[in-house]
Structure 1
């Protein structure tokens, strides 16, 4: 273990042997301090939406196919002009130093090892430059929590461009933080400095609660902000937190180069629908105008298959990867991605789908429960 400001961080570096990614949560809970684990795991209010995110995948079914005369399905794909070995990517989950001393740099190494796409949060534990360097040339996106201070926004965007990121994910669904009871019960404050805050000002985010961090975030966000960021960076801007077709079309009209369907992993508006339940209607409205990223509740290869078949082009993983990070560092991250990719390949074979394009052209069934 590594000690930072009195907070114990894992420094494990090892491959993981497990049967189900859900098993990793309990194992990680044993080594991540209570406050940090509560922040990573928790959702808002009574966590109905958090639970529903995973349950909703049961609302659609994959039809097994026989006599398909195929084998060895392939998971490589191309999205946003990027050639990837997997349709899986890392969601921009904040403060990964809560799970491991090397934080996002180890996550970047693990994601690069599987040929995936890494996304880093504004509130990451390591800097944009260090995270990019750890990926050793593998593609990365930077996620912007837009600040009320445009000098700070410009600083972050400048650093992201300098680091060579391939796109900007603009989070739209967190102008305030959801009512997260675990954080309140634990009196949680960030013990680990946030590198991107440290580089810009004297404050580094440590010793602050969630509400204090979000107090600096912009509450008023509109279509013109998408336009402004796209013009400033000349990079693709992906609108994250889209849960309705109307918002998807509004974002595209403002110049968004991608739509990111997500309810923030059940951490924001509790009582809202599961991300998977709204994905088909958003995909129908977008109609391939721009790529779609999807996250929230993904725990099985079949969930990945269903998300792709329902309209996603990339599927992002969050909590399971951070649990893998705590338990095994970069190799633990790699283990989680490889495990879910193996499950996906089994489902692809059994569904008669040779390629990711085949999966995306698969029609899911909807039988009554």
Structure 2
């Protein structure tokens, strides 16, 4: 533990802000450090130095903060924070000045006392804040779908997502569903920062890894409609369990973090989907802690994405089929992307099971690489050569 943690001085790797009452009681703490691990260590060291029990405080914000346009962080640079705390009867002080001239970002954790947290929750929010925290029902904006990600013949189907019902997507066309949804889904929803199942027992819901914050209050955060994408081949089944962060603080499973939004599962095990649908049907998930069981409400939409091998015989409210691209769609993509026409015979050289958006993106990459090395060749010749390479008929 650093001995000088409370000593005001010039600093280069960390800083502590506190908000204190007239009687020197601390109600607000904000720590800066190089990464999350060091920020947590600094916060815990500060608690120890001041004889504060960590469970007397609640973390209300944490994450990477952009400091690229700041040379220092001090009480003088944080005038807005100082003014806000002043309105709460708190004085902002720090343990020095943090030099950030050559830093792009720094990690911060902000915590407030439980007493202040309860006070702020009870306060009537000003009309301006009520407007800032206004929800907009989730919807799909087809015009936001990125160019080149999907044939125009398939776009209309994505209107089905506006029904916000569980869906099976048979994606034989290998369309990048994750990219399309993250761009096309609109709307904004209020989610709790934490769910307090009993005093000092918290389930963290808001997560900067998954949520794009728009505005916030002490206990709630307005976020863009959540889209959480889980891939069976690279992600962990542990993502569907409660994870202990510290004593009496747990991170929620991803289906809770997908609150009021979409949980997209790529080739998930059937048993997992059955479990999630059972949880949705009864409306809550069990959280067990020290021989006690708590019911945590759930609200999310499941989208199962599969390559279409026929193994999904489970009934869904909605099924979206995205078949392989036929010759005409393939040729239209080539004409729109490259401005040239190929024949049906050229399109048929590509095996039917390879006529996908993944293959088309590979074709574009091959074309660009060939163009770099064969600038004298025409576009049609280069495209035909790229197809030869793709299907393995290079002579």
Q: Shared fold (TM-score greater than 0.5)?
A: no
TM-score (norm 2): 0.25
Structure number with higher helix proportion: 1
TM-score (norm 1): 0.26
